[in-house]
A and B are shown apart, each in its own frame.
Chain A
Amino acid sequence: MLTYDILIIGSGGAGLYAALESRSEEELRVGVLTKIYPTRSHTGAAQGGVNAALANLDSTDTWQDHWFDTVKGSDYLADQDAAEIMTREAPMVVREMEHWGCPFSRTDEGKIAQRPFGGASKPRACYSADKVGHVMLHTLYEQGIRHGVNFLNEWQVLSLMHDGTRCQGVTAINTQTGRVHTINAKAVILATGGHGRIYWTRTSNAFGNTGDGTAMAYRAGLPIKDMEFIQFHPTGLRRTGILMSEGARGEGAYLLNGLGERFMSRYAPDKMELGPRDLVSRSCETEVREGRGGPEGEVFLDMTHLGKERILEKLPQIRELCIEFEGVDPIEEPVPIKPTAHYSMGGIHTDINGQTEIEGIYAAGEAGCVSVHGANRLGGNSLLDILVFGKRAGKHALEYARGASFTPVSTEQEERDTQMINTMMDGKGSGITIADIRHAMGNLMAEKVGVYRNASDLESAISKLADLQEQFKQMRIQDKTKAFNTELVSALELKNMLDLAEVVTAGALERKESRGAHTREDHLERDDKNWLAHTMATQGADGRPKLEFSPVTITEFEPKARTY
């Protein structure tokens, strides 16, 4: 049986930072298990910045300003003690990244460069051109190589194991061989990222952002929190959901419907295309719903009037994106876009050290929910979250693993998981494929649990998701080869997504208010009296989510209306 003092699941920023924090100090056996290779992780896709009140550009900036901006942006659902820790520790973790060699862009004086960002009162997003997540991820990986971190690449986790009070480890399948293993660990840190892929093609997320750790924790009886909050970005490319940054609209691009009308005049006559993210997403969605979309339910981002010269000078990367991923040159024609699911605010419930209710089980980053983002995350706070809470989880797990002994574990779970896989591989099945179910799930979620939500849509989504769960049980994997069976990996991911989609939908149905990214057409106002609370979901004995609510920690800022 494989054993690790600390096993980290996921190799993005949170996982690697946790690994470094727990590895650099002493000779504990630390492993990082990832379903890909570490530098492939989705942290690398973050472009804009990581927030820290370094005051390099605006000397009046303070972490307290950052704290307030974060709480306000969260629509007051963030726990203020957690947001305080994150913003206070931000300068330290960003400098630590810098000391490890992260190539941040520089100011004239040679300091870390910062830029303004949506929802931030001062320019505090530290950046490296348009690739800050990528260089952070690589820097962490490089330091991981230096410190001898042990990587298990291309392993897919299956089940999280504990004895009711203490962590035992996980079961996982080695994709390269197809064999299921039990891994005994004193501590497990779940850093598996978000679950934007429950919207399948209607997301900016990577193929693998399927919430594996969150679903595994949920099935192991741990509560998952605020799952109904999913941030949508208004301008994803039609085919792929890949993000077109706000830069284009900032430069003067128009949003047009299928009839060629600048429809934002209907919704935000003053701000037009530069209205807040959630409002613009809702407006795009309304145009399509009311039959004014393009041939495939899209709207258009039009830059043609800006002229070739200006596009080439100011928006070269955005143009490249349109050509490479959509086959459309924005100099020649409008670019088809759709709102795209971007970030999962919810996740595994943890305290400020990343710890869950089970000793030795931790979560960090987008997979976890402390909560610092509440109902809506600010740009530049996701990279910060993974650093601060990756580090804290790593540090705490190290202290725990130093003192704890291994909790024995049998191979029962391994046998059950092997059996589950054998069942999926056995026989021809009903003919329904993973692709069919995934496609149906994504469309269902985008239509009924997307930008707009209402009771009847959500109820119908619950029942349709139950149908999809049934279809999944009839689905059989056609590829019978054991080694490198990517169809099997997709099936395991789909199982996770179906579980989480149900929790997201149940939370959205229960929460009868509109707050941050959650918009109920039938309850348009924020309701602090009844709903200033975190949604806690656990899996009931019947397999369905059971919802409870817990208070939000308010220490400094009384909830006010959120206006910009």
Chain B
Amino acid sequence: MNATITPDRKSILANIRIQRFTPGEHKSAFYDNFKVNVETGMTVLEVLRLIKNTQDSSLTFRAFCRSKICGSCSVRVNGKPLLACSTQLMPILDDFKQESVIIQPMRNMPVLRDLVVDIDPVIEKLAKMHPYIMENRGRIPETLEQESLMSRQELTKFDYITDCILCGSCYSACSAASADPNYAGPLTLGKAYRFSADVRDSFKGERMQAAVDQGLWSCAQCRKCINVCPKDTRPAISIQRLRKMSIDDGIHDTPGSRRAKAYTDDVAKYGQVNKPMLPVIVNGPKGWAAIEAADNYLIKHGIEPTHQVCTLDGQSSTQKIYAKVKELESRGENKT
């Protein structure tokens, strides 16, 4: 009853369009087109290597483990950052219904050559975040004769981030990093949360301040980082958690924490956010300039400005929701 195995493998002649640039040799980036027979099973990395081996040995990209664990080979394919090694090309050609793809370097980092970007700025930001355990001697014994104990529940709080391979895909996709070169970026803040949430650590305060200084509140929560992460480490979620941790730890003196506090307090009080006064609450007296500008704009359009928040009916329901959330929080059910 044995049947000879004949695998269904197909092949498409595809046009691979690759962004090229060598600083000092080229004035600006340009594109090269390579014709490649893409076969079933071929990853983006295999195609890049095939081009380098058979068509143009100067094509430059990074790759090492070729099994989704080292994080070297991030590039953008049709605009999306991904790991070249673990991305099958045939399904992309099928999805886009055309025999062509564009491969470009990651964004938000300077190009060193072709598809290779300079990741040092990101690594420097990471280093400033104190990304390591400083021993909490209440949990970690002085002697190597003993283990420190940690429950599974304690591990679960941060274990998902330890999958991070520092590939930089999230940094490439990050809208806050595009807007502000000083912003630390998703992966570095994820790491800051990972160590601050570890019961074996004693350095949370310093690290939290480093996170605040490097833009903890600059993240726009657009969640692109979650979408592109090849390891599902959900940086935007960690950033939310780190923000909450910082407020719980009493770091209230930041625009972000003031805004967050205003949102929760206002909704509890009025059933909605007191938007007219938000600039002053968040930015202090400087906020009046924004309010005056808004007032003038409204007056110009014949609308009478108000600085009062209108209260709505049904506030008691809001308060019930608040009470329920507090109850769930105390039972630890928001930790997913």
* Alpha-carbon gap, A483 to B66, bound state (A): 23
The interface residues of chain A lying within 8 Å CB-to-CB of B154 are 110
The answer, among B65, B133, B144, B165, for a CB contact under 8 Å with A95, is B144
Q: Does B140 contact A (CB under 8 A)?
A: yes
Q: Does A557 contact B (CB under 8 A)?
A: no
B58 touching A487 by the CB < 8 A rule? Answer: yes
B127 touching A145 by the CB < 8 A rule? Answer: yes
Task: List B residues 37-62 near A (Cβ within 8 Å).
Answer: 40-43, 46, 52-54, 57-58, 60-62
- Of the 9-residue stretches A321-329, A498-506, A514-522, which lies at the interface with chain B? A321-329
* Alpha-carbon gap, A526 to B130, bound state (A): 54
The interface residues of chain B lying within 8 Å CB-to-CB of A45 are 65, 67, 69-70
B 104-136 to A, binary, CB cutoff 8 A, 1 in contact else 0: 000000001100100110010011001111110
The interface residues of chain A lying within 8 Å CB-to-CB of B131 are 142, 145
Task: List A residues 204-249 near B (Cβ within 8 Å).
Answer: 206-208, 238-240, 242-243
A207 touching B58 by the CB < 8 A rule? Answer: no
* Alpha-carbon gap, A388 to B141, bound state (A): 20
Q: Which residue of A lies closest to B114 (CB)?
A: A484
* Alpha-carbon gap, A207 to B40, bound state (A): 22
- Of the 9-residue stretches A163-171, A257-265, A528-536, which lies at the interface with chain B? A257-265
The distance from the CB of A522 to the nearest CB of chain B, in whole angstroms, is 33
Q: Which residue of B lies closest to A299 (CB)?
A: B5
The distance from the CB of A361 to the nearest CB of chain B, in whole angstroms, is 26
A206 touching B53 by the CB < 8 A rule? Answer: no
The answer, among A54, A240, A325, A333, for a CB contact under 8 Å with B7, is A333
- Of the 9-residue stretches A36-44, A61-69, A73-81, A369-377, which lies at the interface with chain B? A36-44
A101 touching B195 by the CB < 8 A rule? Answer: yes
The answer, among A105, A131, A206, A478, for a CB contact under 8 Å with B66, is A206
The distance from the CB of A506 to the nearest CB of chain B, in whole angstroms, is 29
Task: List B residues 171-198 near A (Cβ within 8 Å).
Answer: 195, 198
The answer, among A101, A206, A208, A323, for a CB contact under 8 Å with B200, is A101
The interface residues of chain A lying within 8 Å CB-to-CB of B201 are 101
The answer, among A40, A109, A146, for a CB contact under 8 Å with B72, is A40
The interface residues of chain B lying within 8 Å CB-to-CB of A483 are 22-24, 112-113
A37-B119, A101-B201 known; A260 vs B42 contact (CB < 8 Å): no
A135 touching B64 by the CB < 8 A rule? Answer: no
Task: List A residues 69-111 near B (Cβ within 8 Å).
Answer: 91-92, 95-96, 98-101, 103, 105-106, 109-111
A39 touching B166 by the CB < 8 A rule? Answer: yes
Task: List A residues 300-345 near B (Cβ within 8 Å).
Answer: 300, 323-328, 333-334, 336
The distance from the CB of A201 to the nearest CB of chain B, in whole angstroms, is 10
The answer, among B5, B135, B158, for a CB contact under 8 Å with A103, is B158
The distance from the CB of B2 to the nearest CB of chain A, in whole angstroms, is 4
The interface residues of chain B lying within 8 Å CB-to-CB of A334 are 5
* Alpha-carbon gap, A81 to B46, bound state (A): 45
A259 touching B2 by the CB < 8 A rule? Answer: yes
Q: Does A430 contact B (CB under 8 A)?
A: no
The distance from the CB of B289 to the nearest CB of chain A, in whole angstroms, is 42
Q: Does B330 contact A (CB under 8 A)?
A: no
A478 touching B57 by the CB < 8 A rule? Answer: yes
The answer, among A145, A176, A326, A333, for a CB contact under 8 Å with B112, is A176
* Alpha-carbon gap, A24 to B123, bound state (A): 21
Most buried by B among A41, A134, A295: A134
Q: Does B266 contact A (CB under 8 A)?
A: no
Q: Does B264 contact A (CB under 8 A)?
A: no
Per the CB 8 Å criterion, the residue count for chain A at the interface is 73
The interface residues of chain A lying within 8 Å CB-to-CB of B67 are 45, 206, 240, 242-243, 325
* Alpha-carbon gap, A110 to B145, bound state (A): 16
B69 touching A110 by the CB < 8 A rule? Answer: no
The answer, among A44, A135, A256, A259, for a CB contact under 8 Å with B70, is A44
Q: Which residue of A lies closest to B24 (CB)?
A: A483
Q: Does A413 contact B (CB under 8 A)?
A: no
Task: Work out how many contacts link A and B, with CB atoms closer than 8 A.
Answer: 189
Q: Does A542 contact B (CB under 8 A)?
A: no
* Alpha-carbon gap, A490 to B159, bound state (A): 36
B5 touching A256 by the CB < 8 A rule? Answer: yes
A103-B158, A106-B155 known; A323 vs B88 contact (CB < 8 Å): yes
Task: List A residues 444-487 near B (Cβ within 8 Å).
Answer: 477-479, 481, 483-487
Q: Does B253 contact A (CB under 8 A)?
A: no
The distance from the CB of A337 to the nearest CB of chain B, in whole angstroms, is 12
The interface residues of chain B lying within 8 Å CB-to-CB of A324 are 43, 68, 86-88
B57 touching A40 by the CB < 8 A rule? Answer: no
The interface residues of chain A lying within 8 Å CB-to-CB of B333 are none
A479 touching B155 by the CB < 8 A rule? Answer: no
Q: Does A157 contact B (CB under 8 A)?
A: no
Q: Does B71 contact A (CB under 8 A)?
A: yes
* Alpha-carbon gap, A33 to B27, bound state (A): 32
The interface residues of chain A lying within 8 Å CB-to-CB of B5 are 256, 258-260, 294, 300, 334
The answer, among A239, A258, A259, A487, for a CB contact under 8 Å with B57, is A487
B155 touching A435 by the CB < 8 A rule? Answer: no
Most buried by A among B41, B61, B135: B41
The interface residues of chain A lying within 8 Å CB-to-CB of B68 are 324
Q: Which residue of B lies closest to A103 (CB)?
A: B162
Q: Does A553 contact B (CB under 8 A)?
A: no
* Alpha-carbon gap, A487 to B6, bound state (A): 37
Q: Does B25 contact A (CB under 8 A)?
A: yes
A142-B132, A146-B132 known; A242 vs B2 contact (CB < 8 Å): no
Q: Does B3 contact A (CB under 8 A)?
A: yes
A206 touching B88 by the CB < 8 A rule? Answer: no
13 pairs across A/B with beta carbons < 8 Å?
A: A36-B70, A39-B165, A92-B144, A95-B146, A106-B155, A138-B164, A142-B132, A206-B67, A259-B4, A260-B4, A324-B43, A327-B41, A435-B52
Q: Give B contacts to A, CB under 8 Å.
A: 2-8, 22-25, 40-43, 46, 52-54, 57-58, 60-72, 85-88, 90, 112-113, 116, 119-120, 123, 126-127, 130-135, 140-141, 144-152, 154-155, 158-159, 162-166, 195, 198, 200-201
Across the A-B interface, give the 10 residue pairs with the lowest CB-CB distance, nearest first. Answer: A101-B133, A435-B53, A260-B2, A479-B58, A110-B149, A327-B41, A142-B132, A40-B70, A484-B113, A146-B132
